[in-house]
Amino acid sequence: MIISRHNILFAVTILTALILRVFIGNIFFEAPQNDGLLYNANALEIINKPNWIINPSEQNARAPVYPFFLSIIYLIFGVNNFTAVIFFQAILGVLSCVFIFYISKHLFNEKVAFLSLTISTLYLPYLRYTGSILRETMIFFFVVASIYSLLIYIKNPKSFKDLTVASLFYTLLIHTDPRYLFFLPLLIFAYWPFQISRVLIKKYFYYTLLIIVMSLPWLIRNYIAYDGLVVISSVYLDFRSNHSRHAQSFMEDSINLSSTENSVHSAKIITNEERLLIKKGLNPRNRSLAEIEAVLEDIYPPSNYLERRLFMLGEFFRVTKFEGNFFPYPSGKFDVWSNKHNLANIFSYGIVLIFTVLALMYLVIKRKWQYLYFIIPIIIQAILHTFVWSRERYRHPIEFLFIIYASFGIYIIYRMLLSRIKKKPFDIKYTPFYVSSKIIS
């Protein structure tokens, strides 16, 4: 049996991705803190509380998949065995790279796919979360797996297996991060070039219906456990009117419709009274030098609705934050990144963003509209976090699409240079796929 050079390169890259993730995950491991403590507590409750399924503690309640993931590892390898958690999160990270390879291959060609695989293997935002007891690595995996499995289901004529796999991945995704429920009505548009419209709509209907069916057992469990309608988790989508974090109040805070007077009172917020004291040379709450400088320069959190929305949009696409800023209420927190964080972002997302813009410009100039449809998940994620709440890490799950387009941008430059060296006409080879009822080559 002859093993091709491509297969060897693929295997070596995958092995490198695994070694890097295990190594970096263990070197830069962070003990559970903030959300990590809650996920860990939820996992321990699943293990230690016999009637947890019908009598959960709402204090630790989170979307169930990541706590289940932790609890299974703890049952097999021992409680709080974070080394095992890191290893299995590394496996999820490697599988994400594999799916990125195949999406890129379906969208463009094998050379672009290998570039995407290489970049995702070394991509710092994906590496850094391997050593954290947080759901991020799992979200990255389920987003990429959902996009790929849905692509396979839509491209294949008839396959109940592909439908089941695609629906299962997306069901697990929304039960890891409920925000992706908002993607479901819009994600269909990313796949418009791959199938005839009426066939696509029919397939997407079956896909959505099966996701609803798969979600019913957990919905029924929540109704029994919480004595009311709770979708996925009581933290976000709690429709019990008497609950402190019911869906309406949560959305009002997230969308920032509430006024600053009704905002959450927190030590993070610098009140007007404290600002006056700081300007007098005092520091009653031991604020950082950057916070004091911001107060002295009369920098405030964005106040009106439009400013808040523009702030969130800027945060979503932000590359660096050398100079800090105040988040809008109800947070009011002052935020600035370390030099290490800024440099890491520049040499990962910053570089990828440049080549992504180059690729998108090329596709627009050449009128290759069908290859632009996969920016729709980026647009959905950006809109969602512009109108709800935004952080840099909320962009990471769809950065694989930036990686794929950036890889195509690098491939364009490579082909341009090659055509000049060999003095041949410049051309780009694409993977054919369906647009309406025609084949695009």
Whether 236 maps to a domain, the answer reads: no
Q: Give tens-digit pLDDT for 291-300.
A: 888 888 888 8
pTM: 0.91
Report residue 437's pLDDT band, with 50, 70 and 90 as the boundaries.
very low
Structural domain includes residue 272: yes
Give how many domains the chain has, as a whole number: 1
Q: If you average pLDDT over residues 273-301, what whole number do you get? A: 87
| pLDDT confidence band for 246 (50 / 70 / 90) | low
Residue 326 pLDDT: 86
Alpha-carbon gap, residue 115 to 414, rounded angstroms: 11
- Cβ-based neighbours of 294, under 8 Å, separated by 6 or more: 324, 325, 326, 334
**Statement: residue 259 has pLDDT above 80:** no
Cα 353 to Cα 351: distance, rounded to the nearest angstrom: 5
Peptide bond into 432 cis (omega under 30): no
Residue 325 belongs to some domain of the structure: yes
> In this structure, is residue 194 part of a structural domain?
no
For residue 357, being part of any structural domain is answered with no
Most confident of the ranges 201-205, 227-231, 400-404, 433-437: 400-404
- DSSP string across 379-425: HHHHHHHHHS---GGGTGGGHHHHHHHHHHHHHHHHHHHHHHHHT--
* Radius of gyration for the chain, computed over Cα atoms and rounded to the nearest angstrom: 24
**Residue 168 resides in a domain:** no
What's the domain range around 308? 247-335
Instruction: Decide if pLDDT at 267 tops 70.
Output: no
pLDDT exceeds cutoff 60 at 417 = yes
For 339-386, what is each residue's pLDDT tens digit? 999 999 999 999 999 999 999 999 999 998 889 999 999 999 999 888
- Confidence class for position 264, pLDDT limits 50, 70, 90: very low
Residue 321, domain member (yes or no): yes
Beta bridge partners of 350: none
The answer to whether 355 and 406 are in contact (CB under 8 A) is yes
Q: How many CB atoms lie within 10 A of CB 57?
A: 11
Indicate the pairing of strand 433-435 with strand 438-440: antiparallel
* Residue 438's pLDDT band (cuts 50, 70, 90): very low
User: What are the tens digits of pLDDT across the range 398-414?
Assistant: 999 999 999 999 999 99
55 in any annotated domain? no
What separation in angstroms does the CA of 409 have from each of 94, 226, 255, 284? 23, 50, 35, 52
